């Protein structure tokens, strides 16, 4: 199994509070991704990173920011959580940008009340 | 219209049956991925293919690039195969971004 961990695994927070989710990898993969998974939707890309300090937006990036100061860590921040951000969040990693498998973390279930 | 469509959305089978899940896409791709997600569980990559056919155990994945269609087959299905099966396509380019289908929920009954 690819060495990917996410923390926390579960979180309940109140509307308006900031939340940071962490993805940590031990594989030294260059590409990292944050997705959200909601019923009726496929996994949707929030932000991705193609190297340290190199990040870009995905299709559902509004209300989210990311940072990557080290190869192994990719942080997703909800500056002011809203109920629409209640979701399961998955981190993934990929070795290259070519046709290559993505390996997924275990997911974080976030509930915003 | 979604760029990646899966059918059926839900599938119930009896143990031992041959199962087929379909995926159609409308964009040019560099590769197609099949993923498995058990209830409450993580997501595991089953196959990545860009042509032809791949086999792993009781699982077979095929792709027809001209028709923009892929199938995932499960032979001699077992209750432990019960999961959501997700099709995703990579459009290539600089970032290996994937576009995902909404998944097929498979239940295999003993």
pLDDT of residue B40: 81
pLDDT of residue B2: 83
pLDDT of residue A96: 74
Tokens of A48: 């991705």
pLDDT of residue B92: 76
Q: Which residue in A has a C-alpha nearest to residue B6's C-alpha?
A: A42
Q: Which residue has the tokens 């899966």?
A: B6
Give B45-54 pLDDT, tens digit per residue. 999 999 999 9
pLDDT of residue B106: 97
pLDDT above 90: percentage of residues in chain A? 85
**How close, in Å, is residue B109 to chain A by CA atoms?**
23
Q: Which residue in A has a C-alpha nearest to residue B38's C-alpha?
A: A106
Sign of CA dihedral A32, B86, B60, B79: positive
Question: In chain B, what is the straight-line distance between the N-terminal and C-terminal CA atoms, in Å?
Answer: 36
The answer to whether residue B75 scores a pLDDT higher than 90 is yes
DSSP state string for B55-109: EETTEEEEEETTTTEEEEEESS--GGG-EEEEEEEE--SSS--EEE---EEEEEE
The answer to whether residue B41 scores a pLDDT higher than 90 is no
pLDDT of residue A2: 65
Q: How far apart are CA A71 and CA A111, in angstroms?
A: 28
- Band (B96; pLDDT cuts 50, 70, 90): confident
Measure Cα distances from A24 to A11, A74, B60 in Å: 17, 7, 32
Rg for chain A, CA atoms, rounded: 13
Least confident of A71-85, B27-41, B48-62: B27-41
Write down the mean pLDDT value for chain A. Answer: 93
Q: Which residue has the tokens 């959501």?
A: B84
Least confident of A3-7, A63-67, B41-45, B86-90: B41-45
pLDDT of residue A1: 56
Give B4-37 pLDDT, tens digit per residue. 999 999 999 999 999 999 999 998 888 999 999 9
Write down the mean pLDDT value for chain B. Answer: 93
Which of B33, B43, B102 comes nearest A40 by C-beta?
A: B102
Tokens of B91: 């459009």
Cross-chain Cβ contact A43/B88 below 8 Å = yes
Q: How many other β-carbons are positioned within 10 Å of the β-carbon of residue A40? A: 7
**Mean pLDDT of all residues in A84-98:** 90
CB A23 within 8 A of CB A102: no
**How close, in Å, is residue A45 to chain B by CA atoms?**
8
Torsion of CA A67, A70, A72, A76, to 10 degrees: -10
Q: How far apart are CA A48 and CA A22, in angstroms?
A: 13
- Identify the DSSP state of A99: S
Give A29-69 pLDDT, tens digit per residue. 999 999 999 988 889 999 999 999 999 999 999 999 999 99
**How close, in Å, is residue B13 to chain A by CA atoms?**
22
Which of A43, A101, A106 comes nearest B45 by C-beta?
A: A101
């Amino acid at each position: 199994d690819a060495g990917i961990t996410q923390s926390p695994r579960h979180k309940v927070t109140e509307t308006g509070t900031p939340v940071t989710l962490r993805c940590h990898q031990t594989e030294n993969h260059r590409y990292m991704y944050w997705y959200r998974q909601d019923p009726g939707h496929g996994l949707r890309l929030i932000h991705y990173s193609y190297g340290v300090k190199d990040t870009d937006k995905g299709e559902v990036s509004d209300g989210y920011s990311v940072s990557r100061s080290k190869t192994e860590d990719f942080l997703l921040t909800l500056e002011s959580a809203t109920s629409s951000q209640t979701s399961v969040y998955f981190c993934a990693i990929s070795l290259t940008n070519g046709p290559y498998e993505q390996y997924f973390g275990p997911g974080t279930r976030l509930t915003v009340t | 219209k979604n760029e990646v469509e899966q059918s059926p959305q839900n599938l119930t089978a009896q143990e031992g049956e041959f199962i087929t899940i379909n995926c159609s896409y409308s964009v040019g791709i560099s590769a197609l991925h099949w993923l498995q997600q058990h209830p409450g569980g993580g997501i595991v990559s089953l196959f990545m293919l860009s042509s032809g056919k791949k086999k792993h155990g009781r699982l077979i994945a095929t792709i027809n690039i001209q028709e923009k269609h892929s199938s995932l087959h499960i032979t001699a299905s077992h209750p432990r195969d019960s999961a959501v099966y997700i099709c995703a396509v990579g459009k290539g380019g600089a970032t290996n971004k994937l576009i995902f289908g909404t998944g097929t929920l498979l239940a295999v009954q003993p």
